[in-house]
A and B are shown apart, each in its own frame.
Chain A
């Protein structure tokens, strides 16, 4: 009985891992670092997480979880409520439908896909932000942010994959 409960709790905790890690990354990404200008170009860890889990385990990061992540990012970074939420949901929707070609492929294919998705997400973000502001907002910080996101993607994939191997092997 107890063992059964423990097993269930254990399984629930493991299933929560993708969301918990993504939420932690969102919180960490707003912590001030002693690097000048870092706050403006923090890579979008949430985007990397959503991209990775939408391909590998969309069942463990459902759309509702992506919604919550986006909302959390919006509120903590102070951007207009719903902006990141919408971008992340769109990325998630596209990747969940197009995940087949990426499954079981080498990492380079995943990264290549991200080279299409991340700039598209940045562009979408910029487009929505401009529409909200009623004029074109400067995009250079978004550009640098996008480059950093692309550059850091391999490291984060390594982290996600290590976590997936450690916590989700049995599922």
Chain B
């Protein structure tokens, strides 16, 4: 018995090692295959990603809650300390805002009157979905957020993601109960924008730095730092006029935009559902293919 067992062992060990090596190489090949498949934008990969994200979303949501509670407690203490100065600042702000309110009312009335004269057909209703950020770590080479709202809540790919102060990204992947927002600072982010004052169109391109760049601006255009950049609405996915940020620097690398959003503490985001239930009127300025695709989605 014993010698026989020994001889099996003699063959088994190298065989096992060879099998292990083979399995390892297959796994490496599998990883490379996944990268290539993902690069080719395979639906399969996206389904896998969405399924996994959906499965982990409840766990992440549960874990994010205590963190948020701790943060709120810290905020509370901080707020108490700054109560006086905060009050003073708010009173000043309030006075300023009252002036703006007056102006806005005047302009709204004027706008309404002008629209009536022009028989302007308004775009479809705009609805917003609020989602909580349940994962924010994109790692070193990605800028994205995971939000706890999905198709069930009316989220669809391409919708604009906004925090109080401005646009922060768009929905890139959407599952049943979770979705991933690609931030405007990400390498792959391209947003059609317009310079608010001059109405020059451009593309806002992220490059993983905090300040995304403006591409395709007309040559020789000089914009002062502080000029506001808003979405242009080109392509139809975004509502026009969403504030994004201001020109931060004008240098050799082109113009860079300082986003309004405060990246360090994004807890809730607003996802703007724009035109999904919109009217397909004859005066609709949106390109037909985009609308068709969006309308076709269940």
A residues sitting closer than 8 Å to B (CB atoms) are: 27-34, 36-42, 63-64, 66-67, 70-72, 75-86, 89-90, 93, 122, 125-126, 128-129, 132-133, 137-139, 141-142, 145
Chain B interface mostly:
helix
Contact pick for A71, options B34, B70, B136, B137, CB 8 Å: B34
Is B264 a contact of A27 with CB atoms below 8 Å? no
List residues of chain A with CB within 8 A of the CB of B143: 40
B residues sitting closer than 8 Å to A (CB atoms) are: 20, 23-24, 27-28, 30-39, 45, 48-49, 52-53, 56, 59-60, 63-64, 67-68, 70-71, 74, 133-144, 146, 180, 182, 187-188, 207-209, 263-265, 267
Contact pick for A32, options B31, B53, B134, B208, CB 8 Å: B134
Instruction: Please give the distance in Å from A26's CB to the nearest CB on chain B.
Output: 10
Is A63 a contact of B136 with CB atoms below 8 Å? no
Contact pick for A82, options B34, B52, B53, B265, CB 8 Å: B34
Is B135 a contact of A76 with CB atoms below 8 Å? yes
Is B71 a contact of A34 with CB atoms below 8 Å? yes
List residues of chain A with CB within 8 A of the CB of B31: 67, 70, 82, 85-86, 89
Knowing A27-B56, A76-B53, A80-B39, say if A32 contacts B64 (CB, 8 Å): yes
Residue of B nearest to A139 (CB): B140
Is A81 a contact of B45 with CB atoms below 8 Å? yes
List residues of chain B with CB within 8 A of the CB of A85: 30-31, 34
Knowing A32-B133, A138-B208, say if A128 contacts B35 (CB, 8 Å): yes
